[in-house]
Chains A and B, each alone.
Chain A
Amino acid sequence: MSSAPSPDLSALLPRDLVVELLALARAQGADFAEVYGEHTVTTAFSFEENRLKTSQYAVAQGVGVRAVARDQTGFAYADGFAPADLREAARVAARIARSGPPGGAPAAFRVADAPAPFALARPFPAALDETAKIALVRRANDAARALDPRVHEVSVTLGDSSKRFLVANSDGVWAEDGADLTRLSVAALALEGDVRQSGFAAGGGCVDADYFESVRTPETVAREAAHTAVTLLSAKEPEAGTYPVVVGPGWGGVMVHECFGHSMEGDTIRKNTSIRAVQMGQLVAARGVTIVDSGRVPFSRGSFRVDDEGTPSQRTVLVEDGILVGYLWDLLNARLTGHAPTGNGRRASYRDFPLCRMTNTYIEPGPHAPADLIASVARGLYCKSLGGGSVNPADGNFSFQVTEAWQIEGGRLTHPVRNATLTGNGNDAMLKIEAVANDLAIDGTTGSCGKDGQWKPVGVGQPTVKFTEITVGGTA
């Protein structure tokens, strides 16, 4: 059974209805109103214990209406597209304003015609049928188990989603777009006596049907996960203390996302809750470090043509050669501060109003060979892959779970290390970068970022990076 064709949102939300909703949302004096309609289909296949445990399908649809009066937001939504429900949502959202004169609706809309950052010939979610998708899952399971007899259990999930949305606002913006995302994730458990360890790897992004043949095969993903699990069986506890740390390319960019990116989001800048609000033009990272947020990285799950407010995606330089040069802006915070929006207005679904969010955030490559960075460390830690990370943007405290690390002694990797946590303060972490290698990789396969309870797909990236010192948690 193939997935149902996405409905034509502009038929469910005809222009005259959108105009009426925008006028209703501004009836009490709101400066700005917006209507966002969405239809999303999700499928998932979960393979565990050598069984295809569940096959799932979900469909969600509805419309969110936002009204903004100065810096105040009113928001309500309706499941589905019934005009009576949408009118009620618009009336509820409108109440944010205190009985001002009605704001009306735009006389005409400008349809967003921004170019797409890349094109998919056959988007994965709709192009493959269930049998083909399940075949990929089985291949991953088999490859992970075949890597080593100590691989005891493998969980594989193939999930994809196909979203279509329409957004129109009282400034005359009208945009229709969508996102087709795919993710194959593999978790492997290795056992040896009483010792158990796990490994995780993923593939996917905003990709075509042949991605798992031509770019990253299920076997590659599976072997990475299984290899990590088996490697960690002989890992030692990390040395507790503060010392040099080298972080590997790709997903390691989650550090710049957490430690730095969040403090550059326009809401925290406008409200002056971020330390970066007063640092424009100042040295905020080591010389030689350039940090970018771009919604246009090919095939990443953090990329799109227009954001969830209809603003075209762009490449925004945040830090150039260590100097803070730009912030990230959504429509509301850009308007209140007199900046131009940067295509960073994003929302988890029609049930949420947009927030200022990152897209794909990464450190540009530097001049060094990755091996030279490791060779320069007398005693330290090489973090091959990181897990989750978090930061409190107000005080800067951050931490990252390291999923696979190696001890560095005399410039060489000596043994694997488990259970390490990196911590520090984001205010100065980027100043502690000593060297940046030339092997930039952007991981757009698996990341999701949470903010105010909204989860959004993102990409992160960096080349191999050496920090002069980071505090490493451990028990040794």
Chain B
Amino acid sequence: MSAPHAAPAPPDLATLETLAAAAVERARRAGATHAEAIVGQSRAFTVRASGGAIESLKHSASRALGLRVIVDGAVGFVTGNDLSPAALDDLAARAVALARFSTPDEANQLPSDEETAGADDAPDLALYDPEVLALTPDTKIAWALELERVALGHDPRIRRTDGAMVSSRDGASALANSNGLVRSSAGTSVSMYVVPLADEGDGRQQTGVYGCARRWVKDLEAVEAVAREAARRAVARLGARRVPTARVPVVMHPDIAASWIGEMYDAFTGEAVLKKASWLTGRLGQRIAAPVVTLVDDGRLRAGLGSAAHDGEGVPTRRNVLVDRGTLAMFEYDTYHARRAGTRSTGNAVRGVGSVPGIGPHNLFVEPGAETPEAILARVDRGFYMDDQGSYGFNAVTGDYSFQAQGFWIEHGVKAFPVEGVTVAGTSLDMLARVVAVGNDLRWNSSIACPTLLIAEMTVSGA
């Protein structure tokens, strides 16, 4: 495919701000006591390659509006992608009509001017890379084809792939509320991955997955390096077998550790704590983890995939230390739950145009330690190195952890052979207390990251 390519213009934030402010005004006229509108738009291009050719090209471009109204303390919310004046009038009327069905609650408030002050003081967060827009479709197609070609050429036992994907995106949003707040921001991201499949001719396939996502094109790993890492992962799994059930030390690969951190996050929200649905309820100020564990949510990391100057209600973001050297230091809040709990928003209202704000993290991570992953592995005489898992296995209410796992059996500090068909189980409080090492290998491929972790003992369930 060869297509003429003129780089599209960057998002027009002023237009989005005008749309959002006009929607707030419509809601006020329709009878809202308070109103808050968010207008979001995004453009994306995704190419998928398979079998040495383009499998699909997808162009996306969308714009939509979300409108939250508070009428006498009760909330109505509407969203739509028809932004014509008549459609916006209809949405505003519906929002106000719906609010009258909801239960009035004095905690339903917009953040005060004082709470939203300061977002404009944010340093340059480097969220928007103009080079992402300048990437031509042909460049992205070439990358996808190269990802697959390099993966296939890495080892003769890689006979096919489950596809290679390259995607670029730019988005922008504007927020306005009836206190006169108007804020907007724009960001980019570009990502790639490939899924090589390896087999030794015995009809059993093994999967390797590796990918990379960044806001800036210049920060991407080399296409060849991504493909080779994915291929290495697939080949390394060949001959995987099960192991007998045992209680052993578990080394978590950064992907697995980050997944656990993400699953645990709900327990750190003020909403779960208010409902007593958090396994951390009543533990504020207590030691909940080993002293090597410091868990941070930082909305202001430069070029961070989860960074933003302000949250989904316009409150400035900041660096929140949730677990400070093992001690539970704070929970996170949006405005509603902060009012309920008698505290202030921590800048964690997270939302898209299609939903009311909820509590969420920006860039969530465990502070890196000093040891290399190799040094951590060398500490384990006999144990399990976990580097792949199933999708479901966490109980948000209890913190119970029980995941299907793949990885390697560790003997005398080295990976002895690949393992599959086992589960790894524990409870989060117990696991947090037994973190004995945190690696120095913190890398960001999403907005949640964690270095390699060594957990002193978990149950590996197998044959």
Chain B residues 1 to 25 lying within 8 A of chain A, measured CB to CB, are: 1-3
| CA gap between A153 and B274 in the complex, in Å | 10
Contact of B1 among A48, A53, A96, A390 (CB under 8 A): A96
| CA gap between A57 and B91 in the complex, in Å | 8
Known contacts A54-B76, A241-B461, A471-B422, A395 near B205 by CB under 8 Å: yes
List the A side residues contacting B82 at CB < 8 Å.
59, 61, 79-80
Contact of B162 among A61, A71, A394 (CB under 8 A): A394
Which chain A residue shows the least CB distance to B94? A57
Is residue A423 within 8 Å, beta carbon to beta carbon, of the partner chain?
Answer: yes
Is residue B424 within 8 Å, beta carbon to beta carbon, of the partner chain?
Answer: yes
List the A side residues contacting B102 at CB < 8 Å.
51-55
Is residue B58 within 8 Å, beta carbon to beta carbon, of the partner chain?
Answer: yes
A424 touches B101 (CB 8 A): no
Interface residues on chain A, size class: 35 or more
Contact of A473 among B63, B160, B396, B424 (CB under 8 A): B424
Is residue A6 within 8 Å, beta carbon to beta carbon, of the partner chain?
Answer: no
List the A side residues contacting B77 at CB < 8 Å.
54-57
Chain B residues 52 to 98 lying within 8 A of chain A, measured CB to CB, are: 53-64, 75-82, 90-91, 93-95, 97-98
Is residue B216 within 8 Å, beta carbon to beta carbon, of the partner chain?
Answer: no
Which chain A residue shows the least CB distance to B68? A54
Known contacts A471-B422, A474-B461, A271 near B56 by CB under 8 Å: no
Which chain B residue shows the least CB distance to A93? B59
B459 touches A134 (CB 8 A): no
| CA gap between A389 and B403 in the complex, in Å | 11
Is residue B343 within 8 Å, beta carbon to beta carbon, of the partner chain?
Answer: no
List the A side residues contacting B99 at CB < 8 Å.
55
A56 touches B275 (CB 8 A): no
Contact of B98 among A57, A278, A390, A419 (CB under 8 A): A57
Is residue A421 within 8 Å, beta carbon to beta carbon, of the partner chain?
Answer: yes
List the B side residues contacting A93 at CB < 8 Å.
59
| CA gap between A77 and B62 in the complex, in Å | 9
A73 touches B56 (CB 8 A): yes
Is residue A304 within 8 Å, beta carbon to beta carbon, of the partner chain?
Answer: no
A399 touches B57 (CB 8 A): no
Which chain B residue shows the least CB distance to A473? B423
A421 touches B393 (CB 8 A): yes
A353 touches B58 (CB 8 A): yes
CB distance from B235 to the nearest CB of A (A): 13
Which chain B residue shows the least CB distance to A229? B397
Which chain A residue shows the least CB distance to B59? A76
Number of A-B contacts (CB under 8 A): 256
Q: Output the residue of B62, B195, B392, B426 with the most chain A CB within 10 A.
A: B392
B57 touches A130 (CB 8 A): no
A420 touches B81 (CB 8 A): no
B75 touches A55 (CB 8 A): yes
CB distance from A378 to the nearest CB of B (A): 19
Q: Output the residue of B82, B197, B354 with the most chain A CB within 10 A.
A: B82
Interface code A325-344, partner B: CB below 8 Å = 1, 0 otherwise? 00000000000000000000
List the A side residues contacting B398 at CB < 8 Å.
196-197, 418-419
Which chain B residue shows the least CB distance to A199? B397
Interface code B80-124, partner A: CB below 8 Å = 1, 0 otherwise? 111000000011011101110111010000000000000000000
Which chain A residue shows the least CB distance to B463? A242
Is residue A116 within 8 Å, beta carbon to beta carbon, of the partner chain?
Answer: no
| CA gap between A387 and B245 in the complex, in Å | 24
Contact of A189 among B1, B95, B397 (CB under 8 A): B397
| CA gap between A421 and B206 in the complex, in Å | 22
List the B side residues contacting A398 at CB < 8 Å.
390, 404
Contact of A421 among B78, B101, B423 (CB under 8 A): B423
CB distance from B210 to the nearest CB of A (A): 15
B98 touches A418 (CB 8 A): no
Which chain A residue shows the least CB distance to B161? A273
Which chain A residue shows the least CB distance to B84? A80
Q: Output the residue of B274, B390, B459 with the most chain A CB within 10 A.
A: B390
| CA gap between A96 and B53 in the complex, in Å | 11
Is residue B413 within 8 Å, beta carbon to beta carbon, of the partner chain?
Answer: no
Contact of B420 among A57, A351, A397 (CB under 8 A): A397
Interface code B171-183, partner A: CB below 8 Å = 1, 0 otherwise? 0000000000000
Chain A residues 73 to 97 lying within 8 A of chain B, measured CB to CB, are: 73-80, 89, 92-93, 95-96
List the A side residues contacting B105 at CB < 8 Å.
51, 53
Is residue A272 within 8 Å, beta carbon to beta carbon, of the partner chain?
Answer: yes
Chain A residues 31 to 76 lying within 8 A of chain B, measured CB to CB, are: 45, 48-49, 51-62, 71-76
List the B side residues contacting A45 at CB < 8 Å.
101
Q: Can you offer 19 A-B residue contacts whose CB atoms are under 8 A?
A: A48-B275, A49-B275, A52-B103, A54-B76, A54-B102, A57-B77, A58-B80, A73-B57, A75-B58, A76-B59, A96-B57, A130-B101, A189-B275, A394-B207, A396-B205, A399-B390, A471-B461, A473-B423, A475-B425
**With A57-B76, A197-B398 already in contact, 20 other A-B pairs whose C-beta atoms are closer than 8 Å:** A55-B102, A57-B91, A73-B57, A74-B57, A130-B98, A153-B275, A189-B275, A196-B277, A196-B279, A198-B396, A241-B462, A273-B160, A353-B56, A353-B58, A395-B204, A395-B205, A397-B420, A400-B392, A473-B422, A475-B426
Pairs of residues from A and B, 6 with the lowest C-beta to C-beta distance, nearest first: A473-B423, A399-B404, A399-B390, A388-B392, A390-B391, A240-B461
Please report A residues at the B interface, Cβ cutoff 8 Å. Answer: 1, 4, 45, 48-49, 51-62, 71-80, 89, 92-93, 95-96, 98, 130-131, 134, 152-153, 189, 191, 196-198, 240-242, 271-273, 275, 278, 351, 353, 387-390, 392, 394-401, 418-421, 423-425, 427, 471-475
